[in-house]
Amino acid sequence: MKILYSFNKSGFELEYWEEELKYKDELIQVVPFNHGTYLNSSFYLRAQLLDDIFFKKETSLLELYSDLKKVLKKNNIDCLIIDNNNPYHPEFLKTLSVKKVLRTSDGPMTSYDRDFPFMHAVDAVLYHSPAYSEEMDMHEKLTYLGVKEKYLWSMCSFDALRSRKSKKDLFNTERDVDVVFVGALFPNKMSVLAGVKKEFGSNFKLHGLANLKKNLYFNLVYKFPGIVRPLAFENYIPLYERSKIGINIHNRGKYTVGGYRLFDLPANGVMQISDGGEYLEEFFKVGVEIESYSSEEELIDKIKFYLSHDDARIKIAKAGYERVMGSYQVKSKLQELSVLI
């Protein structure tokens, strides 16, 4: 089976997505296709926006559709997988004779904007997390929407964001950063981040996407926990290699668990403490490969415990690392497609 993997990336992410998504074995071949170069995703970030520019016959959109058809034909593609920010209108997808698969990657917070409106136009859905809401899980929600083929297909660790050190060297490296978090400064995360920052001060390295407005809000509301600055791509791995504990915070807590950070931390030998509730067990063994928390107070207590118990911290970090290396590398996830699709 030949699969065209359509995604939307730019800059440093584009480079490693294009390189690492190239895959071939005796059962499948994956061909990367970046649909992000044709028009800015802000023009189709929501389904209604896509419908608007499709109705207006936006030139760049039609160019994308024409090129996609050429690539499908040239490579004799059997299946189209659409990842992050779908630019393909249902009426266009209807004209394609290949199997069409939507890969959800942004979680429930954007599902009604980016995922659910397209369920009728695809043959299958790959969802990245079993979590959805208090009322039902994602499998139940997709069934409710009438999706016949639906498979849990988690995110993973890209080689470009993983330490090149051997396991021995990685865990023999001196780690002088107690706690780390790298991620966007969303309002839903600010309270916990501020609490951890105030507790651990300069021993907590906090980086991520945060404009001036968000930083002002963060410091005014939470009594100046500090300025959050972005981290250059080339500094991700060096920072993780220095860090003892990485915390993970999701926008809707356990209902949005499953992002790339969940795998990037253990891939670099960082012991991880994450929210996620019962859904964490779908990815890692809690208490063995990862630690969990359900409140700011519990998170701070567990950080203190593992900072004062190096053997316990390192044991979990090593187990998490082994799990990622065995189950959550790009190659192993792409191999799963031959079974799922």
pLDDT of 92 reads 98
Rounded mean pLDDT of 6-26? Answer: 94
Percent pLDDT > 90 in the chain is: 95
Do 314 and 198 share a structural domain?
Answer: yes
Which residues constitute the domain of residue 283? Answer: 159-327
Residues 14, 32, single domain; the answer is yes
pLDDT band at 107 (very low <50, low <70, confident <90, very high): confident
Q: How many domains does the chain have?
A: 2
Q: What is the mean pLDDT of the chain?
A: 96
Q: Which residue pairs from 123-127 have beta carbons closer than 8 angstroms and sit at least 24 positions apart in sequence?
A: 123/99, 123/149, 124/99, 124/100, 124/148, 124/149, 124/150, 124/151, 124/341, 125/101, 125/149, 125/150, 125/151, 126/81, 126/101, 126/102, 126/150, 126/151, 126/152, 126/153, 126/340, 127/151, 127/152, 127/153
Percent of the chain's residues with pLDDT above 70 = 100
Buried b / exposed e along 9-36 (16+ C-beta atoms within 10 A)? beeebbebbeebbebeeeebbbbbbbbb
Same domain, 300 and 259: yes
What does each C-alpha distance from 233 to 25, 49, 161, 205, 336 come to in angstroms? 30, 31, 9, 15, 28
pLDDT tier for residue 84 given thresholds of 50, 70 and 90:
confident
Q: How far apart are CA 37 and CA 18, in angstroms?
A: 13
Q: Last residue of a domain, which of 153, 186, 211?
A: 153
State whether 171 and 141 are in the same domain.
Answer: no
Dump pLDDT digits (tens) for 262-316.
999 999 999 999 999 999 999 999 999 999 999 999 999 999 999 999 999 999 9
Q: How confident is the model at residue 159 (pLDDT cuts 50, 70, 90)?
A: very high
In terms of domains, do 26 and 145 share one? yes
The confidence band for 137, taking pLDDT boundaries of 50, 70 and 90, is very high
Q: Please check whether residues 84 and 213 belong to one and the same domain.
A: no
Tokens of 170: 């990685």
Residue closest to 156 by CA, chosen among 55, 7, 21: 21
**Any idea what the CATH number is for the domain that residue 320 is in?**
3.40.50.2000
Contact between 69 and 41 under an 8 Å Cβ cutoff? The reply is no
Read off the pLDDT of each residue in 65-70 and give the average, rounded to a whole number: 98
Cα 269 to Cα 322: distance, rounded to the nearest angstrom: 9
What is the pLDDT at residue 273?
A: 98
- Identify the pLDDT of residue 249: 96
Predicted confidence (pLDDT) at residue 106 exceeds the cutoff of 90:
no
Last residue of a domain, one of 107, 128, 153: 153
Spacing of C-alpha 318 from chain mean position: 22
Token pair listed for 120 = 């009728």
Looking at residue 179, its pLDDT comes to 98
Within this chain, do residues 61 and 170 fall inside the same structural domain, yes or no? no
The pLDDT of residue 52 is: 98
- Taking only the tens place, the pLDDT of each residue in 167-207 is 999 999 999 999 999 999 999 999 999 999 999 999 999 99
Does residue 49 lie within any of the structural domains?
yes
* Closest to 326 (Cα-Cα) out of 259, 263, 237, 233: 263
Instruction: Compute the distance between CA of residue 284 and CA of residue 277 in angstroms, rounded to an integer.
Output: 12
- Same domain assignment for residues 108 and 183: no
Whether residue 79 lies inside any domain: the answer is yes
